[in-house]
């Protein structure tokens, strides 16, 4: 294990002393978060919507209950609100874990719930619908025992809103972690230039332990860089939710996948210039498809299908679900996706480096 610790420490020190790399992986991403959140703020909350432009979801346990009667009453009264029935409570959330409707009215287990979207863009909807709900309940429109008191009959649940800085803090962090593949690639290629593999094969230690040490060093530096970015973005106002351990675990699996991919590229390629250009393009394309720059809800059907084939898409959606506290389905897919690809790449790297007799070039 001394070999592992030594190689890990050497790899970490080499990268932490690289000022250019630290600026590229921490300061530039912070600048991107600020710029993108300002430029694309219109995608999130820059205006107040009226009930005429906001869709309201409703869910009821059966025909004729409070919610059905309320929707019928609003429809008969020519309310400008647009109601859409959902099949289950989970349908009021988007794939990213955030509420996708202006509001939602739910009747469940004998209780009426009003789900309020905290996004200020939908405040006009709440100003119209919630008072109408309370008035309808106070007039005896609800089956609950508190039918005489509208405020007691309706439970309001505020669902988290997402600002542009919340979105791009996640998007840029995911992109930068994937960008860590460059550090892993150059770490392995530098070994090739100086015939490190040949010397390691002659040393009284296994190539497996040495390779593990290099991977651990790259993971450690990536964790430090992404941790700094996360903390600094939180100071800038980004919301990272209340389940930080699970969120960090998902980010760790992405780091494993990105590092393994970088080692894979470094082991199986020769021309640095061409490889760098291709890898740069690949990082940008996958980041775009993952939703790091523009929310995927603005993509069409075919494009969205393509997005779902990328690991960054699932990592993004999983992180949003964790932050919003609305489930872990996407996060579970992201973890499985990242670890499976990481294992595949690492096995390929080990098989490749184990056959080398002189260098990686």
pLDDT digits (tens, 9 = 90+) for 134-171: 888 777 654 443 433 444 467 777 766 677 888 899 99
The β-bridge relationship of strands 82-85 and 111-117 is unpaired
Would the pLDDT of 361 be above 50? no
pLDDT of 332: 93
> Of 54, 61, 36, 25, which Cα lies nearest the Cα of 232?
25
Q: What is the pLDDT of residues 39-97, one digit of tens each?
A: 777 666 544 444 545 688 888 766 667 788 888 887 777 666 788 888 877 777 776 66
Tell me the pTM.
Answer: 0.72
Contacts 24+ apart (CB under 8 A), 3-6: 3/205, 3/206, 3/209, 3/210, 3/213, 4/209, 4/210, 4/212, 4/213, 4/216, 5/213, 6/213
> What digits encode the pLDDT tens for the residues 214-258?
778 778 888 888 888 898 899 888 889 888 999 999 999 999 999
* Res. 359: pLDDT tops 50: no
| Mean pLDDT, range 295-310, rounded to an integer | 83
User: In which residue are the tokens 């008191």 written?
Assistant: 149
Q: Residues near 164 by Cβ (< 8 Å), separated by ≥ 6?
A: 36, 37, 38, 40, 41, 43, 44, 45
Non-local CB neighbours of 134 within 8 Å, separated by 6+ positions: 150, 151, 153, 154
In this prediction, residue 302 carries a pLDDT of: 80
The predicted pLDDT at position 255 comes to 92
Q: Is the pLDDT of residue 19 over 80?
A: no
Residue 195: pLDDT band with limits 50, 70, 90: very low
Decide if pLDDT at 31 tops 50.
yes
pLDDT at position 323: 86
On the question of pLDDT at 316 being above 70, the answer is: yes
Distance (Å, whole) CA 288 – CA 299: 11
**What percent of the chain has pLDDT above 90?**
16
- Hey, which of 15-19, 96-100, 354-358 has the most confident mean pLDDT? 96-100
């Amino acid at each position: 294990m001394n070999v592992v610790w030594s190689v890990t420490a050497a790899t970490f020190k080499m990268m932490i002393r690289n000022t250019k790399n630290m600026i590229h992986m921490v300061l530039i991403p912070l600048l991107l978060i600020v710029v993108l959140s300002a430029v694309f703020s219109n995608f999130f909350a820059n205006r107040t919507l009226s009930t005429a432009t906001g869709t309201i979801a409703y869910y009821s346990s059966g025909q004729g209950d409070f919610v059905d009667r309320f929707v019928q009453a609003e429809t008969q009264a020519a309310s400008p609100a647009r109601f859409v029935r959902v099949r289950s409570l989970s349908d009021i959330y988007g794939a990213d874990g955030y509420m996708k409707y202006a509001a939602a009215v739910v009747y469940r287990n004998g209780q009426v719930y009003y789900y309020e979207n905290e996004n200020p863009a939908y405040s006009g909807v709440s100003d119209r619908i919630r008072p109408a709900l309370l008035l309808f309940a106070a007039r005896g429109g609800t089956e609950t025992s508190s039918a005489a008191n509208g405020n007691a009959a309706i439970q309001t649940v505020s669902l988290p809103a997402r600002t542009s800085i919340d979105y791009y803090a996640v998007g840029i962090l995911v992109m930068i972690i994937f960008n860590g593949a460059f550090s892993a690639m150059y770490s392995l290629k530098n070994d090739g230039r100086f015939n490190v593999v040949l010397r390691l094969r002659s040393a009284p230690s296994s190539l497996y332990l040495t390779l593990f040490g290099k991977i651990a060093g790259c993971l450690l530096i990536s964790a430090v860089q992404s941790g700094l970015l996360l903390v600094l973005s939180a100071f800038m106002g980004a919301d990272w939710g209340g389940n930080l351990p699970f969120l960090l675990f998902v980010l760790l699996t992405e780091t494993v996948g990105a590092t393994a991919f970088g080692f894979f590229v470094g082991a199986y390629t020769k021309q640095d210039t061409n490889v760098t250009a291709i890898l740069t393009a690949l990082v940008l394309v996958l980041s775009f498809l993952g939703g790091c720059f523009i929310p995927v809800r603005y993509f069409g059907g075919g494009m969205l299908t393509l997005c779902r084939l990328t690991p960054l898409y699932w990592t993004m959606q999983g992180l949003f679900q964790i932050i919003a506290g609305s489930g872990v389905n996407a996060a579970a897919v992201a973890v499985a996706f990242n670890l499976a690809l990481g294992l595949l790449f690492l096995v390929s790297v080990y098989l490749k480096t184990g056959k080398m007799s002189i260098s990686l070039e």
